[in-house]
Structure 1
Amino acid sequence: MTLRGKIENHWDFSSEELVDGVLVPKRLRVTMTGELGEPNAALHFEVRNGRPECVDFTVTAKPDGRAIRTSDLKTLFIDGIAETAFLDFATPPGGGALGGADEAETRRLRKSIERAIHAPGRGPSRAELEEVARIYSEHPNAPTSAVEKLMRYSRRTASRRVQQAREAGLI
């Protein structure tokens, strides 16, 4: 799917601060229009705990277009879309032009947004850890194996999620 992205609207005009004091919108919606009958995509982003995150994602086939394919989903680099979308609305510390006044400022803003997107702590949600704890407690003979199979995790991820659920006081 060859997509051309455009920022459709900016949901929340209040700003959120990212790393390095960069201000960005609290919420954004990005729409991407497929070319030559290819599907369209819409992504909703929110800044949560100083990190831009995708909170909703839809891909829709056009009525006269072709169906959605796995290859369409492989072309959508969500972190890159977030970086570009938030950069368009980013304001440097102390004010300044949206998206950066010059090339050097734009690079600094892009780097700050990238660091926020890839900041440590992008771990599982509380709901995911609660599900891990539930599965763990329901399968006393092989609890970590059950978590691995039922949550479709690798063995390493299952072990890590069990440990995280334990640290959260859920197990």
Structure 2
Amino acid sequence: MLTINCTINGRAYKFTLDPRMSLMELLRQHGLNSVKQGCSVGECGACTVLIDDVATDTCIYLAVWADGKTIRTTEGEVQHGQLSVVQQAYVDTGAVQCGFCTPGLVMTSTSMVERFRGKRLTEQEIRRGLAGNLCRCTGYTAIVNAVEKAQLLDEETPR
């Protein structure tokens, strides 16, 4: 067993865990159910969270590697009862169907919107950025529209 310290959605945690445990397993055991178990081999993106602001598949990321890291999940994006600009854009554009892939897509989209703040991404750049997240329901058009809208909402948000 190993002990790690990390920050999840703004709160500090200390965990003692089996070094073979994935970060996905750890997060789900602690009630963060937006982190979905899909393929378990890093192909579908359903388990995507931000680790130090980088979109990361947690199914292939060992929990011990999270020592000293800052982790953000979809649950942590809601602030003071308000959806994040990305979450709101997904709602506004109807970019959600069955919802299984949505949390991972939201976190990947959040990473893109934050990383490219001030630069309007093209449709092709957005599609390339979302390539690690699979969705069987939407056809991606509404998801691309959500990222485009999130960029606009982000520009309007005072800092």
- Quickly name the TM-score band, shorter chain normalised: 0.3 to 0.5
Higher relative contact order at CA 8 Å, sep ≥6: structure 1 or structure 2? 2
The higher radius of gyration belongs to 1
Q: TM-score, normalised by structure 2?
A: 0.32
Structure with greater strand percent: 1
Q: TM-score, normalised by structure 1?
A: 0.30
